[in-house]
A and B are shown apart, each in its own frame.
Chain A
Amino acid sequence: MSGSAMDSFPRGKTAIVGAATFGMGEAPGLSSKDLAAHASIAALAQANLQPKDVDALFVCLSDDMLSGMTLAEYFGIRPKLTDNNRTGGSSFLIHVMLAALALEGRQCDVALIAYGSNQRTSTGKLANLIRTSIYEAPYKALSPISAYALAAARHMHQYGTTREQLGAVAIAARKWAQLNPEAFMRDELTMQDYLQARMVSDPLGVRDCCLVTDGAGAIVMTRADRAKDHASRPAFVLGAACATWHQEISNAPDLTVTAAAESGARAYAQARVKPADIDVVQLYDAFTINTLLFLEDLGFCSKGEGGPFVENGRIAPGGELPVNTNGGGLSCVHPGMYGMFTLVEATQQIMRNAGARQVPEVQLALCHGNGGVLSSQATVILGSETTL
C-alpha cells in the first residue's frame, strides 16, 4: 500500500532560501561541528538571517549521535524542533521532507539543515558508524565498496553493462569538477586512466569510488510566503519522498533495482512533473554504479539501459542531461554523507549562482540521496518560481 493517492505533500509551500558549503576538500584544525557551523552561518547570511532566527534544527554529523542538540548548544539557540535523524547519506533529503511538513504545519518558521565532517584530516578514512551483522562480518566484505561491487557485478551480468560505461560516469563527474573551483579532484581523467586504476573489489576500482574529504554544507528553509524576503530566486520544494527496502546488502531483494524507484515515483507525483521535465540532476554517486542505478530507477532511462545512456558524454558538461554539476562525490567532495551536497548544488543551479558550471535556464532540479548500502533512498524535487 503506497497510499500515494492520499499524499498531500505541501507542493511549493516551502523553499530553500540559503545554501552554502564550507571547508571543501581539506579543513585542518576544525571539528565536524565547527565545519557545520561555518556552513550554517554562510547559508543563513545568504538569507539575511542569523543563528538566533532558527527555530528548527536538523543536524546529522558522522561522529556525534546527538548532533542536533550539539549544534543548538553551539549556536546558543533553543529550537522548537530538533532532529538527528540518520539514514546515512540520504538523511538531509529526509530532513527537507520533514522540515517542509513542520513549516507548513507552523511548528516552526526557519529550518536549518546542516552537516559537516572532518574525516579526511582527522582519520583519513571514511567515517563509518555502521556495525556489520554476524551473518556478514566473517566474509570480510569491504565496507561499503563490496556491497556496491556486488550490485555492479549483477547489473553487468543481467544487462551487459561494461567497465567503460562505469568509466563514462567517472569521467563526466571529473569534467564537471574541472568547472568547479571548490572541487577536490580537477586533473584530467581519461578512459585509459580509469581502466588502469587499481582494482579494489571487482568489478570496481579506485576511480569508481567516491573521495574521502572534509567538507560541510547547510541549507535554510522557510515557508514560501516569506521566501522572496530572503532570496531573489528561492528553490521551492515541490516534492520530497523516501523509501527503505533493506539494511545490509545480503537482504536487498534485487541488486539491480533500488528503492529510488519508489521514492522517485512519489516525489514526481507530488511535484506533478516527469523525468523529461527535469533540467539538472544531482545524485549521490558514492560509486559509479549508483549513477546508473539511480538514472534508471528515477526514470531517466529504462531498467538496464543506464550503461548505454551515459555513453558519449550525455551526462557530462554540454551533454543532454546535466548530472552532478559540482563534480559529485566522485570528484568534488565526499565527507561521508554526501546527500547534503545534492541539495546545495541544486539550489545553486536554481539560484543561478553556479559560475562556470551553471546550466542555462534551470527551472527544475532533482536531488537524490542514498544511505547505507543502497538501503535508504530519498528524492527531493526543487523548482524555480515559474514552476509553482
Chain B
Amino acid sequence: MIQPDQQFLEFLAQGRFMIQRSRASGRFIFYPRVAEPKTGCTDLEWVEPSGDGTVYSVTVVRQKPPAPSYNVVLVDLAEGPRLMSRVDGIEVHAVRIGMAVKARVIRENEAPLLVFEPA
C-alpha cells in the first residue's frame, strides 16, 4: 500500500530522495500520490532518481538584515517531474535559470531536507 507523504518522509529521514514511477507506463511522478495523474493507475512504485536536474526558475526571498536572503527554485528533474527546492553551495544571488544541479539530502532544523547543489 502506497502511503505517499508518510513513505516519502521516511525515505528522506534515511537520507534517500525517492520519487514514484508507474509500472505500466514507466512515467515518473512527483509529488507522491496514490495514483498516476490522468490514468488513475495505482501501479506506482518508489524509485531512486538520478538526482540530476536543471533550474527552471529562481527567486531570492529578501529578509530584513541581518537575516540572510535565500533562494527558492523550481527544478526540472532529468526524469521529468518538476519540484520546488533550494540551491546551496553557491552565492544566493548567483543561481541562474538553466543551471545544472544535483540533489542532496541534508539535515536542517532537526529535519531532513532535499536541496540541490551546482552539478
**Which residues of A come within 8 Å of B, CB atoms?**
133-136, 138-142, 146, 149-151, 153-154, 157, 198-204, 248-251, 255
Contact = CB atoms under 8 A, between A and B. Distances in A.
A256 to B, nearest CB: 10
Contacts of B98: 157
Contact of A153 (B82, B83, B97): B97
B84 A249 contact: yes
- Give the interface SS of chain B, mostly helix, strand, loop or mixed: strand
B56 A141 contact: no
20 contacts: A133-B31, A135-B84, A139-B85, A140-B72, A141-B59, A146-B59, A146-B72, A153-B58, A153-B59, A157-B57, A157-B98, A199-B60, A201-B72, A202-B60, A204-B59, A248-B84, A250-B82, A250-B84, A251-B31, A255-B57
Q: Which of B30, B57, B93 has the most CB of A within 10 A?
A: B57
Contact of B113 (A133, A138, A201): A138
Contacts of A133: 31
A134 B84 CA distance: 11
Contact of A141 (B5, B61, B83): B61
Contacts, number: 71
Contact of B72 (A139, A151, A203): A139
Given A139-B72, A146-B72, A255-B57, A199 B62 contact: yes
A154 B74 CA distance: 10
Interface in B32-81: 56-62, 70, 72, 74
B61 A134 contact: no
Ordered nearest first, which 9 A-B pairs have the shortest CB separation? A149-B59, A250-B84, A202-B60, A150-B57, A154-B57, A135-B31, A157-B97, A141-B72, A136-B84
A150 B113 contact: no
Given A139-B72, A150-B72, A154-B56, A201 B84 contact: no
Contact of B82 (A157, A203, A204, A251): A251
